[in-house]
Amino acid sequence: MSTPTDATGLGRPHVWRPGSTARPLLLLHGTGADEHDLLPLGRALDPDAALLSPRGSVLENGMPRFFRRLREGVFDEDDLRARVDELAGFVATAGEHHGVAPGSWWAVGFSNGANIASAMLLRRPEALAGAVLFAAMVPFADPPDADLSGKAVIVANGRRDPMATADHTRRLVAQLRDRGADVTEVPHGGGHAIDPAGVAEIAGLVARPSS
């Protein structure tokens, strides 16, 4: 859809919803969705937060994604690194334009969006204050040695998810905790989906004062 350097300005398709910038939310959709998909989730997590929702800049069989994969479950990590930098540049530009302090964003991602959110935490930790990861896999086989001290991360994976499996969940949580992140797991009994019953609990976790 575009090269990694094309989408760092505000011309990238996105939605901005004004609100409180104390804990702004960066909404990152799953494969085949777009910048409108997670707006209701953002409002459910924090009715007052400013929302920034960009569209993924890669197309796979006509479906927007945030980075390429070689096949299902196998990521193109070179492209992932480039797209993380692209997205971080866009977020910095949007934050400056809308008066959002650098590093105050909470990423909220589902599936492909969760994977680029965790990749951003690991590769560009200065861009995010925390993340909510729904149906998240492991983004890097050999993750960067990032300092995630003070970062809060919520992992909400399904116990019957055939893609973001129990092994993926264990490995991702371990990688984040090993780098200092404060990780809370909010599992559910379903598959590769957002569990509506868990959203209220997650909203309460997001609203906790920073330690």
Residue 210 binned pLDDT confidence (cut-offs 50, 70, 90): low
Residue with tokens 């957002």: 194
* Residue 4 belongs to a domain: no
CA distance 198 to 45: 10
**Average pLDDT in the 33-59 region?**
97
Q: Considering the entire predicted model, what is its pTM?
A: 0.94
In the prediction, which pLDDT does 88 show?
A: 97
| Any domain includes 117 | yes
Q: What's the confidence (pLDDT) of residue 1?
A: 33
Calpha distance 28→190 (Å, rounded): 21
pLDDT digits (tens, 9 = 90+) for 140-185: 999 999 999 999 999 999 999 999 999 999 999 999 999 999 999 9
Question: Is the pLDDT reported for residue 6 higher than 50?
Answer: no
| Domain-embedded: residue 6 | no
The CATH number of the domain holding residue 52 is 3.40.50.1820
Q: What is the mean pLDDT of the chain?
A: 93
Sign of dihedral through CA atoms 127, 136, 36, 55? positive
Residue 186 pLDDT: 98
Orientation angle between helical segments 166-178 and 112-123, nearest 10 degrees = 20
pLDDT-derived band at 29, boundaries 50, 70, 90:
very high
What is the torsion angle, in degrees rounded to the nearest 10, for the CA atoms of residue 169, residue 174, residue 177 and residue 182? 20
Confidence of residue 208 (pLDDT cuts 50, 70, 90): confident
Is residue 8 one of the residues assigned to a domain?
no
Residue 159 Cα to chain centre, angstroms: 20
For position 71, what pLDDT does the model report?
A: 83
Contact assessment for residue 207 and residue 133, using Cβ atoms and an 8 Å cutoff: no
Residue at 75 is within a domain:
yes
What pLDDT does residue 2 have?
36
Residue 3 in any domain: the answer is: no
Where are the alpha helices (H) located in the chain, listed in sequence order? Answer: 39-45, 77-98, 112-123, 166-178, 196-206
Q: Which range, of 10-14, 41-45, 156-160, 192-196, averages the lowest pLDDT?
A: 10-14
Domain enclosing residue 119, as ranges: 14-206
**Catalytic (active-site) positions:** 111, 161, 192
Return the ∠ at Cα 197 (arms to 193 and 198), rounded to 5°: 75
Give the long-range contacts of residues 38-43, CB within 8 A, separation 24 or more: 38/108, 38/110, 38/113, 39/15, 41/108, 41/110, 41/194, 41/199, 42/17, 42/108
Is residue 84 in some structural domain? Answer: yes
Check whether 62 has a pLDDT greater than 60: yes
The total of structural domains in the chain comes to 1
Please state, for a pLDDT cut of 90, what percent of the chain lies above it: 90
Q: Is the pLDDT of residue 5 over 60?
A: no
Residue 30 lies in a domain: yes
Mean pLDDT of 50-78: 94
Residue 152: φ, ψ to 5°: -100, 130
Q: If you count DSSP H runs as helices and E runs as strands, how many of each does the chain have, helices first?
A: 5, 11
